[in-house]
């Protein structure tokens, strides 16, 4: 199993975390929602796997490329 870093593609605030550690996700399933410039931007799973760790909390400000979750695929 490979460890995968889930990264943001945009600067914004973590508005809503949609999954928990241990939860299985499919490729492109939303893991969390960022809010940026009054828009909601999903952060999606890059491939099928299991979320092992969420590294941010709701309300956290993140920049482009921030690792927000870890997955095993």
pLDDT score, position 19:
98
pLDDT score, position 1:
74
Q: How far apart are CA 56 and CA 12, in angstroms?
A: 12
- Mean pLDDT, rounded, for 31-58: 97
Please state, rounded to an integer, the average pLDDT across all residues of the chain.
Answer: 97
Sign of the Cα pseudo-torsion (10, 12, 16, 60, in order) = positive
The count of structural domains within the chain is 1
pTM: 0.92
Q: pLDDT tens digits, residue range 2-25?
A: 999 999 999 999 999 999 999 999
Strands (E) across 21-60 are located at 24-25, 30-36, 39-44, 49-54
- Mean pLDDT, rounded, for 25-47: 97
Q: How confident is the model at residue 66 (pLDDT cuts 50, 70, 90)?
A: very high
- Chain Cα centroid distance, residue 71: 10
Give the structural domain span for 27. Answer: 3-72
CATH at residue 25: 2.40.50.100
First to last CA, the chain: 5
């Amino acid at each position: 199993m490979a460890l995968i870093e889930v990264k943001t593609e945009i600067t914004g605030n973590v508005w809503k975390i949609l999954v928990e550690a241990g939860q299985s996700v499919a490729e492109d399933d939303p893991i969390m929602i960022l809010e940026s410039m009054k828009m909601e931007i999903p952060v999606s799973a890059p491939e099928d796997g299991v979320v092992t760790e969420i590294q941010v909390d709701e309300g956290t400000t993140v920049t482009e490329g921030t690792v927000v979750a870890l997955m095993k695929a």
